[in-house]
Amino acid sequence: MKPTVSKQLTAAAASAAVAILILAGCTPERTQVTPSGVPSVAPTLEGELYEQEIAWEPCDELECGTLLVPLDWDNPAGETVEVKVNRLQATGAKMGSLLINPGGPGGSGLDLTAYFGGMAGEDLLEAYDVVGFDPRGVGQSTPMDCGDASTVDAYVVTDWPLETEADVEAARQRNVDFAGECREHSGAIVENMDTVSAARDMDLLRAVLGDEKLNYLGFSYGTQLGATYAQLYPANVGRLVLDGAVDFMLPADEQAEGQAVGFERALGNYIEWCHTEDDCPLDSNTDAARKQIHDLTIGAIADPLPGATGDVNGNLMVYGIVVTLYDEASWPYLTTALQEVIDHDTANIMGQLADFYLDRDPYSGEYTSNSTVAFYGVGCLDAEPGPPWDLAHVDQFRAQMEAASPTFGWWFASSVGCNSWPLQPNERVTSLDATVDAAPILVIGTTNDPATPYAWAQSLTQQLGHATLLTYDGEGHTAYGRSNQCIIDAVDGFLVDGKMPAEGTVC
């Protein structure tokens, strides 16, 4: 099962080079749940870490610092690791701190802070110190490292066959081997970068910043992190906004099916738009255009297309396509990439789009961050382990995915996900029942969101104790900062003034 990563392309490109901007993250297609009995308060510390002070230093237009957190929250007085933080100071009378998370898992909160001032409302920026952080295992914090680019490529990029029992066993063994590589290069952080541990880090950061309550804006996977926090620390919840909601209580196959349906719908909307453009390279019949794209991706498995710095296989072809479906402003890039593939049998632009998805340098092939491996590190720790997959399970899942998405279903079912991942966390969350004791939470859903379907926002809202759903009627992934002023006003009204939008509000 393939992951999806939330990206947004900027509106500018120079020749074949594409300039891009990360907006938010996605969710793995595995059950992101955890066993009951998780304590609702943090383990007791001797006060040492909660009494630390962050030494803020200037970094460009922001301030940067380091928070020390327990490597293992089951042993809070033991070894520590670093969580890197930055902040954009309030432009007016400060009412507190607002923690932000871009999603992923694996997305850099430090990067999000760097451009958050250009996407947020003025009222919010006046009232809050906006605080970003790279979660444990991610980016500049104590990182997960799985080896060189060739090792990561072999695990993430290669089109591995999955047609025989031997193929399935080999896929499961690759999970074991890759986790072993990550453990060898990273140490114990790979066993302790789960969502519960990251949520506990957020409470420590809240306390060190001097905030009585946690105020938080999380995108995509960041909604899972925020909801987990609300389950663990309901009494500490301030004003929480969860944008692009993930219903991480759903079974794994239902999560995957939801995303498959979402991306198929987004592709159909793109095709309809493309047909209105003079330069659309696709067949004028919508169903034929879908098949045209499907055949291009399947064909690249056996016959990869030449790209600027290497061959573009079926896997990379799909990465390049789906990354443009996160925002309708990116659709012209997909048109240009498809034109090149169809007219010239080359995939320079499609390869660059895939490289952006994976945070790979399009010239050197080196990974520019660890977001790709951190996605698996967090997602597979969070995933509830199940019995080993066999070919019958794969075939059943493939049929389910192809029914949900005739174009991309093969891709969603081209791996065994986290099955046989050998590392396990100390804690998981299996219920959101404790959130009934939390302050009201604002959930945002986008009606045509491909990565976190609108139905997830509806169901997560129902599971949270006191939550209101705000709807953005439009395309793309998440809403705040990329949709319209109605969303800005509603979110800022809640975060700054404490005014919850009316139930049923649609922007």
Active-site residues, by number, are: 220, 449, 477
Q: Give the separation between CA 109 and CA 202, rounded to whole angstroms.
A: 12
Cα(83)–Cα(401) distance, rounded to whole angstroms? 38
CA–CA separation, 195 and 248 (whole Å): 11
Phi, psi dihedrals of residue 342, rounded to the nearest 5°: -70, -40
Peptide bond into 135 cis (omega under 30): no
- Between CA 139 and CA 250 the distance in angstroms is 28
Question: What are the residues whose beta carbons fall under 8 Å from the beta carbon of 401, sequence distance 6 or more?
Answer: 256, 257, 260, 408, 409, 410, 412, 413
| Alpha-carbon distances of 93 from 123, 124, 201, 342, rounded to whole Å | 10, 11, 27, 56
Q: DSSP letters along 140-174, please? A: TSSB-----HHHHHHHHTS----SSHHHHHHHHHH
Distance CA 142, CA 81 (A): 6
CB 291 within 8 A of CB 271: no
SS3 467: strand
Segment (H or E) for 210? none
Q: Which residue has the tokens 């080896």?
A: 147
Name the nearest CA neighbour of 364 among 373, 355, 372, 377: 355
- Rounded Cα distance between 263 and 259, Å, is 6
| Distances 200 to 60, 105, 156, 203, 462 between C-alpha atoms, Å | 29, 16, 29, 5, 24
| Cβ 101 vs Cβ 219: under 8 Å | yes
Please state the separation of Cα 149 from the chain's center in Å: 21
| Beta bridge partners of residue 243, listed in sequence order | 219, 444
Amino acid at position 187, single letter = G
Helix (H/G/I), strand (E/B), else coil: 425? coil
Is-contact 422 376, C-beta < 8 A? no
